[in-house]
Amino acid sequence: MEGINKENLANGLEATGKDEVKSPFLIGVAGGTASGKSTVCKKIMEQLGQAEMDHTQRQVVSISQDSFYRELTPSEKLKAQKGLFNFDHPDAFAWDFMEKTLEQILKGQKVEIPSYDYRTNSLDFENMLVIYPADVVLFEGILVFYFPKIRDMFHMKLFVDTDSDTRLARRVPRDINERGRDLDAVLTQYMTFVKPAFEEFCSPTKKFADVIIPRGADNTVAIDLIVQHIRDFLNNRTCHGSTGNMSLCVNLDISGSVEAGSIGADMASGNGTYNAIRRFSTLCKELTMKNNVFFETNKNLPHH
């Protein structure tokens, strides 16, 4: 990406000649089908007072990976109508378009993406979604951590981890009531494509997450913490512009064992917000509340 790196993105500024364009803090939200990814994003937006706000004015926006399904060939369309197309395989997505769109978003540009119509298994170009520049962008989908180029764009990665029985129990009524399917088709698609693809492509990406959220939207403690972190980010950006996440130093200073100073040191040493965020997520994993473990430790994270 020319002219962009994680450092200046996380600091929120990209130099474009004389003008300074605000680049958003990009959060990836992955997880299996019906794990609660969109519900988690919706809750975050609601708690931040963004959901009821006019979409041109929002500081936080949420985008679904579904807008990046690729257009099907006529024969694939026929297969899809019979429930014989694999929408859970990485090949079902238009990765180039996804990458380009995220690059534009990171450059602070307005983008237009199609909505997705599950009833016809196709992109709806009549109903384009306009994504206005925002301070924080949530990007959710089953495979958002699958491709390294996309994965590396996120400043923070969340994985919504809901057990597969619960997910299936939620998917069945959702697909019947909201996506125009019948029970047989939902179960056949689940057993033929959804479950095997989850195990092969989605579940292995959990290891890339900075924060794993067990039980999805039911995990109010985890959501409150993430909301608080976004609030800090937004306040800081408003108060300090490019100084990014200084308030992390204050807000994380809630336990004697928390090394709030090391976050400040990151900022002061010029290692920047990205490192501070990494430390934040590590701290989250270390934090255990009495009788309430709200984050599952991701053992695959490198030590800082």
Ligand X SMILES: O=c1ccn([C@@H]2O[C@H](COP(=O)(O)O)[C@@H](O)[C@H]2O)c(=O)[nH]1
Ligand Y SMILES: Nc1ncnc2c1ncn2[C@@H]1O[C@H](COP(=O)(O)OP(=O)(O)O)[C@@H](O)[C@H]1O
Applying CB under 6 A, the residues found at the interface with ligand Y are 31, 33-39, 170, 174, 216-218
The smaller minimum CB distance to ligand Y, of residues 38 and 275, is found at 38
CB 298 within 8 A of CB 210: yes
Q: How far apart are CA 212 and CA 161, in angstroms?
A: 7
Residues of this chain that interact with ligand X (CB under 6 A) are 33-34, 37, 66, 69, 87-88, 118, 121, 142, 194
The site partner of 296 among ligand X, ligand Y, none (C-beta below 5 to 8 Å per kind) is none
Q: Minimum Å distance from CB 259 to ligand X? A: 36
The site partner of 118 among ligand X, ligand Y, none (C-beta below 5 to 8 Å per kind) is ligand X
The site partner of 121 among ligand Y, ligand X, none (C-beta below 5 to 8 Å per kind) is ligand X
The smaller minimum CB distance to ligand Y, of residues 35 and 50, is found at 35
The smaller minimum CB distance to ligand X, of residues 81 and 288, is found at 81
The site partner of 246 among ligand X, ligand Y, none (C-beta below 5 to 8 Å per kind) is none
Q: How far apart are CA 91 and CA 93, in angstroms?
A: 5
Q: Minimum Å distance from CB 47 to ligand X? A: 21
Q: Minimum Å distance from CB 295 to ligand X? A: 22
The site partner of 285 among ligand Y, ligand X, none (C-beta below 5 to 8 Å per kind) is none
**Owner of token pair 């985890």:** 222
Q: How far apart are CA 62 and CA 39, in angstroms?
A: 11
The smaller minimum CB distance to ligand X, of residues 62 and 273, is found at 62
Q: Minimum Å distance from CB 42 to ligand Y? A: 7
The smaller minimum CB distance to ligand Y, of residues 94 and 172, is found at 172
The site partner of 88 among ligand Y, ligand X, none (C-beta below 5 to 8 Å per kind) is ligand X
CB 108 within 8 A of CB 20: no
The smaller minimum CB distance to ligand X, of residues 189 and 282, is found at 189
Q: Minimum Å distance from CB 56 to ligand Y? A: 24
